[in-house]
Structure 1
Amino acid sequence: MKTQTLNVGLIGFGMAGRTFHAPLIQTAPGLELTAVVSSDAERVQAVYPEVAVHAKSASLFADPDIDLVVIATPNETHFPLAKAALAKGKHVVLDKPFAVSLAEARQLKSLADGAERLLSVFHNRRWDSDLLTLKGLLDEQRLGRVVEVESRFDRFRPTVPDRWREQHRPGSGIWFDLGPHLLDQARSLFGMPRAILLELASLRDGAEIDDDFQAVLEYDRLRVTLKASALVAEPTPRWRVNGTRGSFVKYGLDPQEDWLKAGEIPQPAWGVDPSPGRLTLNEGEGDAVELVHHEVEAVPGDYRAYYDAIARTLLRGTPPPVSVDEALDVMSLLEAGLDSYRQGRWVKLKEGGSLPRRLHAKG
């Protein structure tokens, strides 16, 4: 069993690499950020003066001391960079989305399996406080049988920025940006749906690519709606969950992203959401309805958990925090959604629709 610290090389020092990956890697026991691939060495070393900076990814891959490569680059580069890293015997973590097509993702899985290397995707919002809190409510069946879920990720960004996500490039647009977050969360709560229906729109002045989506996931006696938009100024519920015994409503995004952007260092159980949401339950007897409001105790979020688990996987052989098959499920949903939008109809998934047993509560 390996006991030494693993050396990590990070490709990309933009928002994702600088804000999320680098600080979370640095706080994970058993991992050390030792190299970064960036065209701006001064920018990297202003924050991490002890880290080596490579101008090209090939020189990072050639370094025999690098154990794990983390790829936080534009979506269309995920496949070639991961392919090259695996070919050099490196373990690989990809920022979401996995790739820009299901075919690319499946090929990377095959390559990782053949090389006996770890391949995982950074679906960090599994460790949002609100998701963990809602999961606890569902496990306890506080809402009864859940019949409707709406999950939103709205922003107000009326001016289209000059960045690759807003341009006609593979994997750009809000569906590939925020869709993976909401799809992975829905999948983690309810499993794979039976079918998906997607609507995309480009609503802002000057928008080249989709900046608004609504996806509907169909399950047995449950409908999940996922929405994201760049033109929502008034706060909307992050979650609205209705069941046979009551409802759960939560406003506001998990605060960890803003804290990381502000330069805060992640601490154990640091992600306590100050707005954990409200539970409204029917506490009447028989046919009488008596609605009672309850403030919910938030489960702390912790993005550190992802890289902590990656280290344990590589050093101790424990299961990865996000398996390749789970990441492939999200890619299947992303691609099926695009098929739905292009064809203007529901698209069925080969497997899905059966809810976890804990969600089959009666009453």
Structure 2
Amino acid sequence: MKKIRTGIASFGMSGKIFHAPFIQAHPGYELAAIVERHKNDSRELYPDTILYRSVEDMLADDSLELIIVNTPVQLHVEHTRAALLAGKHVVTEKPFTVTPEEARELDNLAKEKGLVLSVYQNRRYDCDYRAVKKVIGENLLGKVVEAEIRYDRYRPEASGKQHKEGDLPGSGTLHDLGAHLADQALQLFGRPEKVFADLRTLRSGVKANDYFEILLYYPELRVRLKSTMLARETYPAYIIHGTEGSFFQQRSDVQEELLAAGQKPSLEDWAPAPSQPDGLLHTRIGNEVVRKETTSSPGNYMGYYDDLYKTLREGAPNVVPAAQAVQTMELLAAAERSATEGKVIEFGM
């Protein structure tokens, strides 16, 4: 097994929680380099890696094959472009870019260079999303006519992170959590015909949007995407209604919490399934009406890096190709335009 020598462009939360542990634990990768501009946090956890003080210095390392671009979104296009021009395969954190134009540029560059450019949509590997995907995929609800996907948090105080909450392009909840919701809507239901959105800033000390509601128009389906930072009480993360029944699913994946506490991931199921039912299915199966609580199976973000390994070493399809992320950025841009102009935006095919 030829290991994929990998470098991580930043060692903040995403580097420490979502990337380094998985690269270190997967037998197909070698965590070889980490960028920390000023700190030395990686020395304690990963002393065998090379410490670089800049992304540029790391990209000059010819031994590296894969670069994880997990710097602030405002730097994604610069660092992803530089990595591709250096001949590296790249994983770029979500949100992929600030604008769809930047996303298309990077997608085209990767294709020109014959390199793999993948976007880290780890929430596709959450237990709750996979439960919803399974119910829809097995046609348990009949034809789906209405869906709502939410990602709420309770963070009444500003974080102080300018790249997420300041007056900067690409900051705000729409690009942060909205990139997950838009990706999931596109995966489950495809590209909508029209988009309408409302964006707001609810908290003092925050410049960027921290609330959004987006309505996606399909010929025979409506999908609502919502997020707020002032939800103290939980609400079903997924509400799906079809001609035969309904499915409610709580946001119940605990991987992020376990990783933050120092849990080590693996290829095997390492995060437990929910300890109690986290879904409700009420539908008709055959001639019988069924109403039952459901419990989702464990999620595993390692699935992303395992799928990427198969892409780089076995030629399998890119699990999150940049072209899909282009559509996500187009959807977020349409939502921004709708909120600014106060009207429904034609999206189309």
TM-score, L = length of structure 1: 0.91
Name the CA distance, whole Å, in 2 between partners of 1:94 and 1:273.
Answer: 30
How far did 1:118 drift?
A: 0.8
Q: Any conservation in 1 of the 2:35–2:52 contact (CA below 8 Å)?
A: yes
Q: Any conservation in 2 of the 1:217–1:223 contact (CA below 8 Å)?
A: yes
| Residue from 100, 121, 129 that aligns with 1:123 | 121
Q: Any conservation in 1 of the 2:128–2:251 contact (CA below 8 Å)?
A: no
Name the CA distance, whole Å, in 2 between partners of 1:52 and 1:307.
Answer: 21
The C-alpha deviation readout for 1:223-281, integer Å capped at 9, x for no partner, is: 11111110010111111111122211122342111111111112313343344311122
Query: Aligned residue for 2:220?
Result: 221
Q: Which amino acid aligns with 1:211?
A: D
Query: Aligned residue for 2:21?
Result: 23
Partner of 1:42, secondary structure, is coil
Name the CA distance, whole Å, in 2 between partners of 1:284 and 1:303.
Answer: 35
Query: Aligned residue for 1:88?
Result: 86
Query: Aligned residue for 1:262?
Result: 261
Aligned residue pair count: 345
Residues 1:47 and 2:45 are matched in the alignment: yes
Name the CA distance, whole Å, in 2 between partners of 1:321 and 1:273.
Answer: 26
Deviates more, 1:260-269 or 1:173-182: 260-269
Query: Aligned residue for 2:190?
Result: 191
Partner of 1:199, secondary structure, is strand
Instruction: Trace 1:1-363 onto structure 2 (pairs within 5 A).
Output: 3-164=1-162, 165-267=164-266, 268-271=268-271, 272-274=273-275, 275-282=277-284, 292-351=290-349
Q: Any conservation in 1 of the 2:127–2:252 contact (CA below 8 Å)?
A: no
Deviates more, 1:291-300 or 1:310-319: 291-300
How far did 1:284 drift?
A: 10
Kindly tell me: are residues 85 and 74 of structure 1, through their superposed partners in 2, closer, same or farther at Cα, counting changes over 3 Å?
same
How far did 1:176 drift?
A: 0.5
Name the CA distance, whole Å, in 1 between partners of 2:298 and 2:342.
Answer: 40
Query: Aligned residue for 1:358?
Result: none
Q: Any conservation in 1 of the 2:192–2:348 contact (CA below 8 Å)?
A: no
Kindly tell me: are residues 350 and 292 of structure 1, through their superposed partners in 2, closer, same or farther at Cα, counting changes over 3 Å?
closer
Partner of 2:237, secondary structure, is strand
Q: Any conservation in 2 of the 1:130–1:273 contact (CA below 8 Å)?
A: no
Name the CA distance, whole Å, in 2 between partners of 1:14 and 1:7.
Answer: 20
Deviates more, 1:268-277 or 1:76-85: 268-277
Name the CA distance, whole Å, in 1 between partners of 2:152 and 2:327.
Answer: 24
Name the CA distance, whole Å, in 2 between partners of 1:270 and 1:247.
Answer: 30
Kindly tell me: are residues 212 and 120 of structure 1, through their superposed partners in 2, closer, same or farther at Cα, counting changes over 3 Å?
same
Name the CA distance, whole Å, in 1 between partners of 2:209 and 2:295.
Answer: 36
How far did 1:207 drift?
A: 2.0
Partner of 2:160, secondary structure, is coil
How far did 1:350 drift?
A: 3.0
Name the CA distance, whole Å, in 1 between partners of 2:85 and 2:244.
Answer: 53
Q: Which amino acid aligns with 2:274?
A: D
The C-alpha deviation readout for 1:88-121, integer Å capped at 9, x for no partner, is: 1111110001111111111111211111111110
Q: Which amino acid aligns with 1:280?
A: H
The C-alpha deviation readout for 1:306-337, integer Å capped at 9, x for no partner, is: 11111111111111111121111111111111
The C-alpha deviation readout for 1:43-79, integer Å capped at 9, x for no partner, is: 1111111111100111111101000000111101000
Q: Which amino acid aligns with 1:237?
A: P
Q: Which amino acid aligns with 1:296?
A: T
RMSD between superposed Cα atoms in Å: 1.6
Partner of 1:8, secondary structure, is strand
Q: Which amino acid aligns with 1:270?
A: W
Q: Which amino acid aligns with 1:196?
A: V
Partner of 1:237, secondary structure, is coil
Name the CA distance, whole Å, in 1 between partners of 2:285 and 2:124.
Answer: 31
* Consecutive unaligned residues in structure 1, runs of 5 or more: 352-363
How far did 1:28 drift?
A: 2.4
